[in-house]
Structure 1
Amino acid sequence: MKKKLLLFVNLLIVFSAIAQNSVRYTTVRLNLREDANASSNVIAVLPRGTVVNVAKECDCAWILVSYEGKEGYVSSKYLSYTQPAQTKHSIVKHQQRTKYYINSAGERVQSPTHYQSVPAGATALCWDGTYSFSQSRRGTCSHHGGVKIWL
Protein backbone atom coordinates (compact mmCIF):
# COMPACT_ATOMS: atom_id res chain seq x y z
CA MET A 1 0.00 0.00 0.00
CA LYS A 2 2.88 2.34 0.84
CA LYS A 3 4.46 1.66 -2.56
CA LYS A 4 1.22 2.53 -4.36
CA LEU A 5 0.86 5.72 -2.35
CA LEU A 6 4.47 6.66 -3.06
CA LEU A 7 3.97 5.94 -6.77
CA PHE A 8 0.82 8.07 -6.79
CA VAL A 9 2.61 10.99 -5.09
CA ASN A 10 5.50 10.76 -7.57
CA LEU A 11 3.11 10.73 -10.52
CA LEU A 12 1.28 13.72 -9.07
CA ILE A 13 4.56 15.63 -8.80
CA VAL A 14 5.54 14.75 -12.39
CA PHE A 15 2.16 15.77 -13.81
CA SER A 16 2.13 19.04 -11.88
CA ALA A 17 5.61 19.83 -13.24
CA ILE A 18 4.41 19.11 -16.78
CA ALA A 19 1.34 21.28 -16.24
CA GLN A 20 3.60 24.22 -15.36
CA ASN A 21 4.70 24.38 -19.01
CA SER A 22 1.34 24.46 -20.79
CA VAL A 23 0.35 25.28 -24.35
CA ARG A 24 -1.91 28.17 -25.36
CA TYR A 25 -3.09 29.65 -28.66
CA THR A 26 -3.12 33.30 -29.71
CA THR A 27 -6.65 34.50 -30.49
CA VAL A 28 -5.47 37.55 -32.46
CA ARG A 29 -2.28 38.77 -34.15
CA LEU A 30 -0.18 39.42 -31.07
CA ASN A 31 3.07 41.22 -30.19
CA LEU A 32 5.70 39.26 -28.24
CA ARG A 33 7.39 41.90 -26.03
CA GLU A 34 10.63 42.15 -24.05
CA ASP A 35 8.87 43.24 -20.85
CA ALA A 36 5.37 42.93 -19.42
CA ASN A 37 3.92 46.21 -20.73
CA ALA A 38 2.46 47.60 -23.95
CA SER A 39 5.26 50.13 -24.48
CA SER A 40 8.03 47.52 -24.35
CA ASN A 41 10.01 46.61 -27.49
CA VAL A 42 8.40 44.04 -29.79
CA ILE A 43 10.51 40.88 -30.25
CA ALA A 44 8.18 39.19 -32.75
CA VAL A 45 4.63 39.36 -34.08
CA LEU A 46 2.67 36.13 -33.57
CA PRO A 47 -0.06 35.32 -36.09
CA ARG A 48 -3.56 34.39 -34.89
CA GLY A 49 -3.70 30.71 -33.89
CA THR A 50 0.01 30.48 -33.01
CA VAL A 51 0.94 27.88 -30.39
CA VAL A 52 2.97 29.31 -27.50
CA ASN A 53 4.39 27.63 -24.41
CA VAL A 54 3.47 29.30 -21.15
CA ALA A 55 6.37 29.16 -18.70
CA LYS A 56 4.22 29.45 -15.56
CA GLU A 57 0.46 29.64 -15.15
CA CYS A 58 -0.79 32.77 -13.42
CA ASP A 59 -3.80 35.05 -13.31
CA CYS A 60 -1.75 37.96 -14.71
CA ALA A 61 -2.33 40.66 -17.31
CA TRP A 62 0.98 39.67 -18.97
CA ILE A 63 2.32 36.15 -19.27
CA LEU A 64 5.85 34.90 -20.05
CA VAL A 65 5.80 32.61 -23.10
CA SER A 66 8.24 31.01 -25.50
CA TYR A 67 7.83 30.91 -29.25
CA GLU A 68 10.35 29.56 -31.80
CA GLY A 69 13.20 29.83 -29.30
CA LYS A 70 12.30 33.38 -28.26
CA GLU A 71 11.02 34.27 -24.81
CA GLY A 72 8.86 37.27 -24.10
CA TYR A 73 5.61 38.58 -22.71
CA VAL A 74 2.14 38.66 -24.26
CA SER A 75 -1.15 40.00 -22.99
CA SER A 76 -2.94 37.06 -21.38
CA LYS A 77 -6.38 38.25 -22.51
CA TYR A 78 -5.46 37.22 -26.08
CA LEU A 79 -4.55 33.63 -25.20
CA SER A 80 -6.83 30.59 -25.25
CA TYR A 81 -6.56 26.94 -24.22
CA THR A 82 -8.28 25.95 -27.47
CA GLN A 83 -7.23 26.65 -31.03
CA PRO A 84 -9.37 29.43 -32.54
CA ALA A 85 -11.74 28.42 -35.33
CA GLN A 86 -10.89 29.56 -38.83
CA THR A 87 -12.71 32.73 -39.77
CA LYS A 88 -14.41 33.24 -43.10
CA HIS A 89 -11.57 35.68 -43.94
CA SER A 90 -8.92 32.98 -43.44
CA ILE A 91 -10.85 30.39 -45.47
CA VAL A 92 -12.12 32.49 -48.37
CA LYS A 93 -9.68 34.39 -50.52
CA HIS A 94 -9.87 38.10 -49.73
CA GLN A 95 -12.68 39.66 -51.73
CA GLN A 96 -11.57 42.69 -53.67
CA ARG A 97 -13.41 45.95 -53.03
CA THR A 98 -13.23 48.34 -55.97
CA LYS A 99 -11.88 51.77 -55.02
CA TYR A 100 -12.27 55.02 -56.93
CA TYR A 101 -10.64 58.44 -56.99
CA ILE A 102 -11.46 61.83 -58.49
CA ASN A 103 -8.98 62.75 -61.25
CA SER A 104 -7.68 66.22 -62.15
CA ALA A 105 -10.64 66.74 -64.51
CA GLY A 106 -13.07 66.04 -61.64
CA GLU A 107 -14.12 62.64 -62.98
CA ARG A 108 -14.63 59.55 -60.80
CA VAL A 109 -12.15 56.90 -61.99
CA GLN A 110 -11.49 53.35 -60.76
CA SER A 111 -8.17 53.01 -58.92
CA PRO A 112 -5.61 50.54 -60.31
CA THR A 113 -6.88 47.04 -59.51
CA HIS A 114 -5.65 43.42 -59.89
CA TYR A 115 -7.55 41.27 -62.41
CA GLN A 116 -6.91 37.83 -63.97
CA SER A 117 -7.42 39.23 -67.51
CA VAL A 118 -7.74 42.65 -69.13
CA PRO A 119 -10.91 44.30 -67.76
CA ALA A 120 -13.22 46.51 -69.81
CA GLY A 121 -12.19 50.15 -69.63
CA ALA A 122 -8.56 49.51 -68.60
CA THR A 123 -6.06 51.87 -70.25
CA ALA A 124 -2.74 50.47 -68.99
CA LEU A 125 -1.08 47.52 -67.27
CA CYS A 126 1.10 48.70 -64.38
CA TRP A 127 4.41 47.05 -63.40
CA ASP A 128 2.90 45.71 -60.13
CA GLY A 129 0.28 43.76 -62.12
CA THR A 130 -2.65 46.11 -61.60
CA TYR A 131 -4.73 47.55 -64.42
CA SER A 132 -5.16 51.33 -64.57
CA PHE A 133 -8.33 53.08 -65.72
CA SER A 134 -6.69 56.52 -65.99
CA GLN A 135 -8.32 59.00 -68.39
CA SER A 136 -5.02 60.83 -69.04
CA ARG A 137 -1.41 59.73 -69.42
CA ARG A 138 -0.17 62.00 -66.64
CA GLY A 139 0.27 60.04 -63.39
CA THR A 140 -0.96 56.75 -64.83
CA CYS A 141 0.29 53.85 -62.67
CA SER A 142 2.07 56.23 -60.28
CA HIS A 143 2.65 54.34 -57.00
CA HIS A 144 2.30 51.10 -59.01
CA GLY A 145 5.75 51.00 -60.63
CA GLY A 146 4.79 52.96 -63.74
CA VAL A 147 3.20 51.83 -66.99
CA LYS A 148 4.31 48.44 -68.28
CA ILE A 149 1.99 48.35 -71.33
CA TRP A 150 -0.47 50.89 -72.73
CA LEU A 151 -3.71 49.19 -73.76
Structure 2
Amino acid sequence: MRKFLLILVQLLVIITLSAQTYMYTSANLNLRSGPSVSHRILATIPLGTRILMVEMCDCDWIRIHYNGKIGYVSSRYLTDQKVVNNSNKNSVRSTGNANSKTRYYTNSSGQRVQSPTRYNSAPPGATALCRDGTYSFSKNRRGTCSGHGGVARWLK
Protein backbone atom coordinates (compact mmCIF):
# COMPACT_ATOMS: atom_id res chain seq x y z
CA MET A 1 0.00 0.00 0.00
CA ARG A 2 2.83 2.37 0.87
CA LYS A 3 4.53 1.73 -2.46
CA PHE A 4 1.27 2.41 -4.30
CA LEU A 5 0.82 5.77 -2.54
CA LEU A 6 4.40 6.76 -3.31
CA ILE A 7 3.93 5.95 -7.00
CA LEU A 8 0.62 7.85 -7.03
CA VAL A 9 2.24 10.95 -5.49
CA GLN A 10 5.11 10.81 -8.01
CA LEU A 11 2.64 10.55 -10.88
CA LEU A 12 0.69 13.57 -9.61
CA VAL A 13 3.90 15.61 -9.36
CA ILE A 14 4.88 14.67 -12.93
CA ILE A 15 1.42 15.56 -14.25
CA THR A 16 1.45 18.88 -12.40
CA LEU A 17 4.91 19.83 -13.68
CA SER A 18 4.05 18.94 -17.27
CA ALA A 19 0.88 21.07 -17.12
CA GLN A 20 2.72 24.24 -16.08
CA THR A 21 2.35 27.15 -18.45
CA TYR A 22 5.05 29.75 -19.05
CA MET A 23 4.73 33.14 -20.75
CA TYR A 24 7.20 35.94 -21.55
CA THR A 25 7.02 39.60 -20.61
CA SER A 26 6.79 41.95 -23.60
CA ALA A 27 7.86 44.96 -21.49
CA ASN A 28 9.34 45.68 -18.07
CA LEU A 29 6.41 44.61 -15.94
CA ASN A 30 5.34 45.38 -12.36
CA LEU A 31 4.39 42.37 -10.21
CA ARG A 32 1.61 43.62 -7.93
CA SER A 33 0.04 42.35 -4.72
CA GLY A 34 -3.45 42.51 -6.26
CA PRO A 35 -5.19 42.73 -9.65
CA SER A 36 -5.02 46.49 -10.32
CA VAL A 37 -2.54 49.38 -10.56
CA SER A 38 -3.64 50.57 -7.10
CA HIS A 39 -2.00 47.54 -5.45
CA ARG A 40 1.56 47.59 -4.08
CA ILE A 41 4.45 46.71 -6.46
CA LEU A 42 6.25 43.56 -5.25
CA ALA A 43 8.90 43.46 -7.99
CA THR A 44 9.68 44.67 -11.51
CA ILE A 45 10.05 41.85 -14.03
CA PRO A 46 12.48 42.63 -16.89
CA LEU A 47 11.51 42.50 -20.57
CA GLY A 48 11.70 38.99 -22.04
CA THR A 49 11.57 37.16 -18.70
CA ARG A 50 9.99 33.69 -18.77
CA ILE A 51 7.40 33.49 -15.98
CA LEU A 52 5.29 30.70 -14.52
CA MET A 53 1.54 31.21 -14.76
CA VAL A 54 -0.29 30.29 -11.53
CA GLU A 55 -3.61 30.38 -13.37
CA MET A 56 -4.58 31.09 -16.98
CA CYS A 57 -7.62 33.13 -17.88
CA ASP A 58 -8.76 35.57 -20.54
CA CYS A 59 -8.75 38.51 -18.12
CA ASP A 60 -6.93 41.82 -17.62
CA TRP A 61 -4.85 40.66 -14.62
CA ILE A 62 -3.21 37.25 -14.31
CA ARG A 63 -1.77 35.61 -11.20
CA ILE A 64 1.85 34.48 -11.69
CA HIS A 65 4.86 33.10 -9.82
CA TYR A 66 8.12 35.07 -10.10
CA ASN A 67 11.30 34.85 -7.99
CA GLY A 68 9.53 33.09 -5.12
CA LYS A 69 6.69 35.62 -5.10
CA ILE A 70 3.10 35.18 -6.22
CA GLY A 71 1.36 38.28 -7.52
CA TYR A 72 -0.55 39.82 -10.40
CA VAL A 73 0.55 41.28 -13.74
CA SER A 74 -1.34 42.94 -16.56
CA SER A 75 -2.09 40.33 -19.24
CA ARG A 76 -1.57 42.89 -22.01
CA TYR A 77 2.20 42.67 -21.44
CA LEU A 78 2.44 38.86 -21.64
CA THR A 79 3.11 36.79 -24.74
CA ASP A 80 3.67 33.12 -25.44
CA GLN A 81 6.56 34.03 -27.75
CA LYS A 82 10.14 34.78 -26.73
CA VAL A 83 10.84 38.52 -26.71
CA VAL A 84 14.04 39.93 -28.20
CA ASN A 85 15.22 43.47 -27.44
CA ASN A 86 16.65 45.00 -30.66
CA SER A 87 17.94 48.59 -30.60
CA ASN A 88 15.74 49.48 -27.62
CA LYS A 89 12.68 48.48 -29.62
CA ASN A 90 10.61 45.57 -28.33
CA SER A 91 9.93 42.79 -30.78
CA VAL A 92 8.83 39.20 -30.61
CA ARG A 93 10.26 36.14 -32.26
CA SER A 94 8.54 32.78 -32.39
CA THR A 95 10.20 30.22 -30.13
CA GLY A 96 9.39 27.47 -32.59
CA ASN A 97 7.94 25.53 -29.66
CA ALA A 98 5.03 23.34 -30.70
CA ASN A 99 3.57 23.81 -27.23
CA SER A 100 3.36 27.62 -27.48
CA LYS A 101 -0.24 28.76 -27.33
CA THR A 102 -1.67 31.61 -29.34
CA ARG A 103 -4.53 33.33 -27.55
CA TYR A 104 -7.94 33.52 -29.18
CA TYR A 105 -11.27 35.13 -28.36
CA THR A 106 -14.79 34.85 -29.73
CA ASN A 107 -16.01 38.09 -31.29
CA SER A 108 -19.58 39.42 -31.21
CA SER A 109 -20.36 37.53 -34.44
CA GLY A 110 -19.34 34.25 -32.81
CA GLN A 111 -16.09 33.93 -34.81
CA ARG A 112 -12.89 32.66 -33.17
CA VAL A 113 -10.20 35.30 -33.74
CA GLN A 114 -6.54 35.48 -32.68
CA SER A 115 -5.97 38.02 -29.90
CA PRO A 116 -3.67 40.97 -30.66
CA THR A 117 -0.07 39.70 -30.66
CA ARG A 118 3.36 41.34 -30.96
CA TYR A 119 5.42 40.43 -34.07
CA ASN A 120 8.52 41.83 -35.82
CA SER A 121 6.43 42.68 -38.91
CA ALA A 122 2.83 42.32 -40.05
CA PRO A 123 1.95 38.60 -39.97
CA PRO A 124 -0.43 36.98 -42.47
CA GLY A 125 -4.04 37.70 -41.57
CA ALA A 126 -3.32 40.81 -39.48
CA THR A 127 -5.80 43.62 -40.10
CA ALA A 128 -4.41 46.45 -37.96
CA LEU A 129 -1.35 47.61 -36.06
CA CYS A 130 -2.38 48.63 -32.53
CA ARG A 131 -0.81 51.62 -30.74
CA ASP A 132 0.91 49.32 -28.21
CA GLY A 133 2.80 47.57 -31.05
CA THR A 134 0.63 44.45 -31.28
CA TYR A 135 -1.08 43.29 -34.47
CA SER A 136 -4.84 42.71 -34.47
CA PHE A 137 -6.58 39.96 -36.42
CA SER A 138 -10.09 41.38 -35.93
CA LYS A 139 -12.57 40.71 -38.72
CA ASN A 140 -14.57 43.81 -37.77
CA ARG A 141 -13.36 47.40 -37.45
CA ARG A 142 -15.57 48.02 -34.43
CA GLY A 143 -13.59 47.44 -31.22
CA THR A 144 -10.35 46.58 -33.01
CA CYS A 145 -7.34 47.12 -30.72
CA SER A 146 -9.56 47.98 -27.76
CA GLY A 147 -7.42 47.47 -24.68
CA HIS A 148 -4.32 48.00 -26.83
CA GLY A 149 -4.45 51.79 -27.22
CA GLY A 150 -6.60 51.82 -30.35
CA VAL A 151 -5.63 51.44 -34.00
CA ALA A 152 -2.36 53.05 -35.10
CA ARG A 153 -2.70 51.89 -38.74
CA TRP A 154 -5.13 49.74 -40.73
CA LEU A 155 -3.46 47.04 -42.82
CA LYS A 156 -6.38 45.95 -45.00
* TM-score, normalised with respect to structure 2: 0.45
The structure with the largest alpha-carbon Rg is 1
Structure richer in helix, relative to its length: 1
